[in-house]
């Protein structure tokens, strides 16, 4: 079998969709040794050691839609694949090939107000088309499956729920290594509350800043460390919001530093009202940092028993939750123990095995 992979989001940073692709592909190739994978990217991605994976770089000059319906589509015509494996929500508008599509969430359809009107209308159309056109859809949670069903009425036998994984590198770093990392980042011996992810309005960063400021009355050395790019719409002045001397904001951290970042946090705050899965809280938990999250969308499902949940988007509720995690050691240990019990279900090799089953299903049943 010849499979063309849409690897547009694969790259050195490996965040979001790219992280899913880079973890699934090598494990998938090892399970389907007779299959040839042609991974089409817009830049040099991570090296693939498997002999049945070939990377082809197709430079991008006009955004994802133009890339997918231009260079990617032309390459597919030349390669004549048996199947398209698409990691980034959509398929080319002309897609005569069988396809397996990853749908990480459908915020474009369920919350178009979070996007510029033209973007929501056009991208929403392409997303609807792609979800209906694909032979099988992979979604990362029961919550996302229910949302797809609610908005599109797609047959349930077309959906496959596959949980994402936590990489082995995410583990609690040694205290001395964390201390050195904190000093290098200008944090010294301060206590840290962290956030990592793209900054959207739905993730309530202003609420977190206010709550941490309240906590500083009891813990004056408390520091808020925010990692992520500002993608708010309508745009918020995040630079001003994070301009206090007790806040550090980096748009990006190297992959090698992420375990130190997570390990340095007293708590990891992820006050998102909408997620298809939510990898950062699990990665933080693997490094010993307790997630404080809103009990909304998939987060309540994925993190059941493994987070301190906030029921309301109020300063008082967030402050109370953060305080509990910083003062109740038994509660933190209970959450960590629950994660260790459940960690094996968040496995990239296990996810790859299920994806391989989906590919075989399309091939042999011709869905």
Write the CATH number for 180. Answer: 3.40.50.2000
Say if residue 199 is in the same domain as residue 278: yes
DSSP state, residue 255: G
Give backbone dihedrals phi and psi of 143, rounded to 5 degrees, phi first: -60, -40
> Would 170 be classed as within a structural domain?
no
Q: Radius of gyration of the chain from Cα atoms?
A: 21
Q: What would the pLDDT profile of 105-154 be if each residue is shown by its tens digit?
A: 999 999 999 999 999 999 999 999 999 999 999 999 999 999 999 999 88
Domain that holds residue 319: 175-345
Contacting residues for 56 by C-beta, under 8 A, at least 6 apart: 38, 39, 40, 41, 75
Instruction: Identify whether 122 is part of a domain.
Output: yes
Which pLDDT score is estimated for 367? 47
Q: How confident is the model at residue 330 (pLDDT cuts 50, 70, 90)?
A: very high
Q: Are residues 230 and 330 in the same domain?
A: yes
H helices of 3-46, in order, are 17-31
* Residues facing residue 101 across a β-bridge: 86, 137
Q: Is residue 204 part of a domain?
A: yes
Is 82 inside any structural domain? yes
Q: Tokens 């089953």 map to which residue?
A: 357
Q: Does 283 lie in the same domain as 196?
A: yes
In a shared domain, residues 240 and 339 = yes
Q: Is residue 327 part of a domain?
A: yes
Beta bridge partners of 100: 85, 136
What is the number of domains present in the chain? 2
Indicate the pTM of the whole model. 0.93
What mean pLDDT comes out for the span 189-201? Answer: 97
**Is 190 a domain residue?**
yes
Q: Do residues 143 and 188 share a domain?
A: no
Least confident window among 69-78, 144-153, 171-180, 274-283? 144-153
Asked if 258 and 326 sit in the same domain, the reply is yes
120 found inside a domain: yes
């Amino acid at each position: 079998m010849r499979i063309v992979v849409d690897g547009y989001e694969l790259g050195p940073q490996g965040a979001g969709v790219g992280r899913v692709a880079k973890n699934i592909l090598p494990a998938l190739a090892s399970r389907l040794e007779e299959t040839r994978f042609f991974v089409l990217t817009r830049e040099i991605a991570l090296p693939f050691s498997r002999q049945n994976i070939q990377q082809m770089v197709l430079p991008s000059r006009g955004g994802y839609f133009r890339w997918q319906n231009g260079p990617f589509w032309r390459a597919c015509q030349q390669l004549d694949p048996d199947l398209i494996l698409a990691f980034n929500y959509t398929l080319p508008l002309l897609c005569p090939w069988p396809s397996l599509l990853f749908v990480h969430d459908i915020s474009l359809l369920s919350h178009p107000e979070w996007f510029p009107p033209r973007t929501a209308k056009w991208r929403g159309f392409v997303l609807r088309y792609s979800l209906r056109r694909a032979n099988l859809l992979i979604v990362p949670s029961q919550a996302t499956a229910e949302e797809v069903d609610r908005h599109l009425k797609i047959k349930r036998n077309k959906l496959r729920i596959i949980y994402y994984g936590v990489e082995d590198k995410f583990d609690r770093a040694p205290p001395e290594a964390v201390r050195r990392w904190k000093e290098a980042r200008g944090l010294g011996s301060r206590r840290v509350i962290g956030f990592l992810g793209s900054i959207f309005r739905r993730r309530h960063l202003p609420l977190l800043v206010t709550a941490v400021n309240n906590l500083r009355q009891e813990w004056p050395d408390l520091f808020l460390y925010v990692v992520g790019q500002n993608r708010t719409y309508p745009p918020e002045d995040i630079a001003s919001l994070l301009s206090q001397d007790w806040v550090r904001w980096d748009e990006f951290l190297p992959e090698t530093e992420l375990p130190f970042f997570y390990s340095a946090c007293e708590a990891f705050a992820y006050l998102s009202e909408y997620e298809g899965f939510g990898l950062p809280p699990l990665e933080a938990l693997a490094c010993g940092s307790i997630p404080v999250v809103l009990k909304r969308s998939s987060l309540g499902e994925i993190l059941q028993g493994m987070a301190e949940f906030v029921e309301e988007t109020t300063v008082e509720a967030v402050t109370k939750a953060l305080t509990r995690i910083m003062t109740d050691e038994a509660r933190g240990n209970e959450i960590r123990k629950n994660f260790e019990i459940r960690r094996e279900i968040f496995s990239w090799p296990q996810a790859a095995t299920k994806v391989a089953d989906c590919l075989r299903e399309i091939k042999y049943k011709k869905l």
